[in-house]
Amino acid sequence: MNLFRLVNCSLRFLFAVSLVALTGCASVGVGNVFSKGEGPKKLPARIYVQEFKAPFDNFRVDRDGKDLTTFIAAEKLALAQGIVEQLNKYVAPAEVLKPGKVPPRGNFWLVAGTYDRVNQGSRVLRTIVGFGAGGTKLETRVQVFADSGKESTQFLSLLTSGGSGLAPGAWAAFTPAGAFSVPGAVANAGGASLGGISIDRKRTAREIVATISEYCFQHGLIPERKTRRPKKLGELPFLQRPEFVVPISGL
């Protein structure tokens, strides 16, 4: 009997870990991807990333006043830096464009955007309940411009949407019969609690750059072996080398 209970507990633990892995990753996707005109004929010498516009009313977080202003400023910079990091890996040299500056004329691209929705959610609900309860939400609109030498022209636009909190919470470790699995509860609670705006931001940066990467491949600018494929909203993601991200803030 003890052996049976041990095997049952182990199976539920492995199932919980697998479910966390499946539901806790790639929860940000892209949609409304549109390209305009013929687009650039070659990769840029450099890509500049502008901090996204961030209307205060689009942020639902547990801050206000000066704290909210500070939080949004840090968030804008962190997302821009995340996009730059990904661009440097997969597309072309990139850097954050300092506020108030404009990119130089020539063979350069500019990535700009707007935060449409930032919802902090509830870490307590994500940890205990999960399956979307207390989940976060991060949505953006993105535009990519090329400088033709005379004027900048937009050649790509997209939306990103997603969030954390889909993983099961600690309660899911309870069996129908009421027996409690401590390992399962710990795995569930730990997986659900990892969600937050910081990890959504990393995924958002990754999907934005994956969309740019795919555009570059489709237009013959980079080879397929270097291409990152974005997760399209409502579609299964491409199989590619995963990038594991860990949240670094209290959110």
pTM, rounded to two decimals: 0.73
CA 85 to CA 210: how far, in whole Å?
A: 12
Dist. CA 230–CA 211, nearest whole Å = 5
Contact yes or no for 16/187 (Cβ under 8 A) = yes
For residues 188 and 73, the answer to whether their CB atoms sit within 8 Å is no
Which residue ranges in the chain fall short of pLDDT 70? Answer: 1-26, 122-134, 148-150, 165-195, 236-251
Query: Could you give the CA distance from residue 40 to residue 93 in angstroms, rounded to a whole number?
Result: 16
Write down the pLDDT at residue 95: 97
What is the dihedral angle through the alpha carbons of 187, 188, 194, 200, rounded to the nearest 10 degrees? 130
Q: What is the pLDDT of residue 208?
A: 98
Instruction: Give the span between the Cα atoms of 247 and 12, in whole angstroms.
Output: 26
**How much is the pLDDT for 184?**
42
Distances (CA, A) of 50 to 12, 81, 140, 189: 46, 10, 13, 36
Q: Which of 172, 88, 176 is nearest to 126 (CA)?
A: 172
What does CATH list as the number for 28-165+197-226?
A: 3.40.50
Cβ neighbourhood burial of 58 (10 Å; 0-12, 13-18, 19+): middle
The pLDDT of residue 229 is 95
